Amino acid sequence: MTTTATLSIRRFEASDTDAVVALWQEAFPEYRDVTRPQRNPHLSIANKLATQPELFFVAVFGERIAGTVMGGYDGHRGWLYSLAVDESLRRHGIGTRLVAHVETALTERGCPKLNLQVLSAKADVRAFYEALGYRADAVISLGKRLGELAETPVA
Ligand SMILES: CC(C)(COP(=O)(O)OP(=O)(O)OC[C@H]1O[C@@H](n2cnc3c(N)ncnc32)[C@H](O)[C@@H]1OP(=O)(O)O)[C@@H](O)C(=O)NCCC(=O)NCCS
């Protein structure tokens, strides 16, 4: 990471699409898994642009898309999704800043609690969130697919 470029966080723009998809394909192996067509980054972006697009953020380092994060607030709880930092730029505090940005945006909306899910195999990601003050809730996470994806296994 050079010291001349600066990092900023702003709302996602349509022109960021290719860079964001490339970043997600590197950061989230499931986006490269042809047996899991439900993990479609273009559909994820389109869906988010249709629902609270103001809570979809990118970190920009110089001219590069360095990271992403999505937030959501349903009036009861806030959720955080799609946090990813370019592999070559990790451990420089960008993930921390993205999480803080969503926390601020949700707090400003009156959101009292932010939830997120981490794959149980990702011990490093859990360590990241614990470093930011997140703790495991005494719950299990249940899910069910709806609509066209209803027959697709959840896991
Ligand atoms: C998780 C992720 C976003 C972290 O981004 P980052 O910019 O590297 O995180 P930060 O630099 O802000 O890290 C802050 C602190 O979290 C902890 N941390 C971060 N990455 C860690 C790792 N791989 N192992 C252990 N602790 C880690 C450290 O305490 C770190 O502080 P330090 O670097 O001073 O030791 C990044 O690793 C990533 O994109 N991973 C792949 C995508 C992913 O799994 N996303 C989460 C989906 S739930």
pLDDT per residue as tens digits for the range 77-107: 999 999 999 999 999 999 999 999 999 999 9
Return d(Cα 81, Cα 72) in angstroms, integer: 8
127 lines ligand 1 (CB under 6 A): yes
122 lines ligand 1 (CB under 6 A): yes
pLDDT digits (tens, 9 = 90+) for 105-144: 999 999 999 999 999 999 999 999 999 999 999 999 999 9
Domains in the chain, ordered, with CATH? 7-149 (3.40.630.30)
For ligand 1, say whether the CB of 7 is within 6 Å of any of its atoms.
Answer: no
Question: pLDDT tens digits, residue range 23-56?
Answer: 999 999 888 887 877 789 999 999 999 999 999 9
Q: Ligand 1 centroid vs 127 CA: distance in angstroms?
A: 8
Nearest CA owner, ligand 1 atom 19: 128
Among protein residues, the one whose CA lies closest to atom 44 of ligand 1: 125
For the entire predicted model, the pTM comes to 0.95
